[in-house]
Amino acid sequence: MKRETWGSRSNFIFAAIGSAVGLGNAWRFAGQVYQNGGGAFLLPYIIAIFAIGIPVLMMELAIGKKYRLGAPSAFAAMNKKFEWIGWAGVIIAFIVAAYYSTLVAWVVNYIFASFTMAWGADPAGYFNNTVLQLSGSPGQLGGFSLPVLIGLLITWLVVIFAMRKGVEKMAKLVKWIVIIPVIILIIMCIQAVSMPGAADGIRYYITPDWSALGNFDVWRAAFGQVAYSMSILFALMITYGSFLEKGSDIPKDSIVIGLSDMGISLLAGFVVFSTLGYLSFQSGVPIDEMNYQGVMLAFVTYPQALSVFPGGQIVGVIFSLLFFIMLFALAIDSLFSIVQAVSTAFSDKFRLPPRKALYITCAACAALSLLFATNAGLYWLDIVDHFVNDGNLLFMGIFETIAIAWLFGINKLREFINSTTTIKIGRWWNVLLKYVCPVAFLVLAASFLYSNIRTPYAGYEQQYLFIGGWVLVIVTFVLALIIPKLTGRKKETGEALS
């Protein structure tokens, strides 16, 4: 079967930016900044973009392009013993798709709620009690939240409808989906920075606390944020690379994608922290004492600010709609890419038609996402996200860079990249992938293990962290070792490029 392609360079660029730019930029990035010393987080983040983000992105796109296969089959084509690394990435992507779709479902609810600003004067109560119907602990699953279930149904129908005709059709749709949130972000930034107190929020955002740079948790959070935000280390960009044309210029495209991802994150940070500054001005509570983090920034903090926006109800409704439509646009194309990575892997391995693999993937992910639609869904989403993004992606970074840079041979991949680019990458790329990346991932993974063994994450009981965290990490890599043994292609063959 002939491999699909993007159809044009612009289709690929917009699709890859759409994959990289998502909720991780709009709320997760700002949450990481807030939790890790304000401006102190920005320096490790920018270093991580250039030290691991763009170099690893080049590596993964090159693997996909060279072998014209999804991640597991591409790794197997390099060396049969590497196939499990690709499956580990696919399993991580599968888990992320399940809980990421739940985040999109929350956004869907808030789009409808924006018409009346249904959260009123109590955004936290609306989020916890009306939307999530939150229980008291992870052990109290209770029933399902009907609003979240409806949001999930809408989300998965959109995914299937948008992706059913293949990557080229999807990419043409994503072009518009990527442009819309950038325009909205610019409008919102202009509004946010003009509000009273915004300058204090911006100052908190860009002023570093130098003492925080000695904390490994800050560096681990920055590197994890870059991996999560740029969609590297969990099969996505290898899959996207497999649909590239022969003459694609990987270094140029990687730089455009990486800088776009960073730029949109930084822009979203100005919106969020200007808004925090305004809330601080209104309430008299210092920014560093607000205790806003994670999803609360998107679903509590911003709605709270909208409730007291200058201009009254009409202005509040307009900016509510803009904000949550922006979040939906950012999130849905990222979800497309995550699902594409999983469905392509199974299509390649088990010789399934792409559309059939897509339907099976969506059904399986939707089934797993039901856990996060229970009354304890927020707790489990928080635990799983922490262990997947702060833990599993770091372990993946170790395995992937060692396998490719040391065992396969980074020179062969660099020569392949340089054969179709006007920007030749030099030996500095070898150094980053052979030494800097593995050492950084190893040190940060050790820090992750130490801090999580020593102190229970977010104060959760150990039994829940064991089930939703440690078991998840172990199962990811055990399944990755088992799946290659299952019957698939007799020989891993794509349309490999020399």
Cα separation, 398 vs 50, whole angstroms: 17
Contact between residue 21 and residue 264 where contact means Cβ atoms under 8 Å apart: yes
Question: Residue 144: what are its φ and ψ, rounded to 5°?
Answer: -100, 150
Contact between residue 344 and residue 189 where contact means Cβ atoms under 8 Å apart: no
Residue 336's alpha-carbon distances to 14, 258, 367, in angstroms, are 13, 19, 17
Output the 3-class SS for 386-403.
Answer: HHHHHHHHHHHHHHHHHH
Q: Tell me which residue of 6, 96, 17, 8 sits closest to 57, measured CA to CA.
A: 17
| 374 bridge partner residues | 144
Neighbour count for residue 401 (Cβ, 10 Å): 27
Q: H helices then E strands: how many in the chain?
A: 25, 0
Output the 3-class SS for 95-139.
Answer: HHHHHHHHHHHHHHHHHHHHCCCCCCCCHHHHHHHHHCCCCCCCC
Cα separation, 205 vs 225, whole angstroms: 16
Would you list the domain boundaries of the chain? 9-485
Ramachandran quadrant class, 328 (left: phi over 0; alpha: psi -120 to 50; beta: rest)? alpha
Q: Tell me which residue of 24, 78, 49 sits closest to 337, measured CA to CA.
A: 24
Place of tokens 């072009």: 175
Contact between residue 19 and residue 174 where contact means Cβ atoms under 8 Å apart: no
Give me the DSSP letters along 161-211.
Answer: HHHTT-HHHHHHHHHHHHHHHHHHHHHHHHHHHTSTTHHHHHHHHHSB-GG
pLDDT at site 24: 80
Helix (H, G, I), strand (E, B) or coil at 374: strand
Percent helix / strand / coil, the chain, rounded to 5? 80, 0, 20
Angle, nearest 10°, between helix axes 146-163 and 83-114? 120
pLDDT at site 250: 96
**CA 87 to mean position of chain CA atoms:** 18
pLDDT at site 491: 46
All residues at 6 or more sequence positions from 373 whose CB lies less than 8 Å from its CB, including other chains: 102, 105, 144, 145, 148, 149, 152
Helix (H, G, I), strand (E, B) or coil at 496: coil
All residues at 6 or more sequence positions from 415 whose CB lies less than 8 Å from its CB, including other chains: none
- Per-residue DSSP letter, 297: I
Ramachandran quadrant class, 69 (left: phi over 0; alpha: psi -120 to 50; beta: rest)? beta
pLDDT at site 490: 47
Contact between residue 139 and residue 464 where contact means Cβ atoms under 8 Å apart: yes
- pLDDT of the chain, 498 residues: tens digit per residue: 577 888 888 889 998 998 888 888 887 898 889 888 788 899 999 999 999 999 999 999 999 999 999 999 999 999 999 999 999 999 999 999 999 999 999 999 999 999 999 999 899 999 999 999 999 999 999 999 999 999 999 999 999 999 998 888 888 888 888 888 889 999 999 989 999 999 999 999 999 878 878 888 888 888 888 988 898 999 999 999 999 988 899 999 999 999 999 999 999 999 999 999 999 998 899 988 887 766 888 898 889 888 887 777 888 899 999 999 999 998 998 999 999 999 999 999 999 999 999 999 999 999 999 999 999 999 999 999 999 988 899 999 999 999 999 999 999 999 999 999 988 999 999 999 999 999 999 998 998 999 999 999 999 999 999 999 999 999 999 999 999 998 655 444 455 665
Cα separation, 296 vs 133, whole angstroms: 15
| 38 bridge partner residues | 208
Whether the model clears a pTM of 0.75, i.e. scores above it, the answer is yes
Helix (H, G, I), strand (E, B) or coil at 144: strand
Contact between residue 277 and residue 305 where contact means Cβ atoms under 8 Å apart: no
Cα separation, 24 vs 41, whole angstroms: 15
Contact between residue 375 and residue 133 where contact means Cβ atoms under 8 Å apart: yes
All residues at 6 or more sequence positions from 303 whose CB lies less than 8 Å from its CB, including other chains: 110, 117, 119, 123, 126, 127, 320
pLDDT at site 221: 84
Domain spanning 9-485: which CATH class is it, in words?
mainly alpha
The pair of three-digit structure tokens given for residue 422, joined into one six-digit string? 């006007």
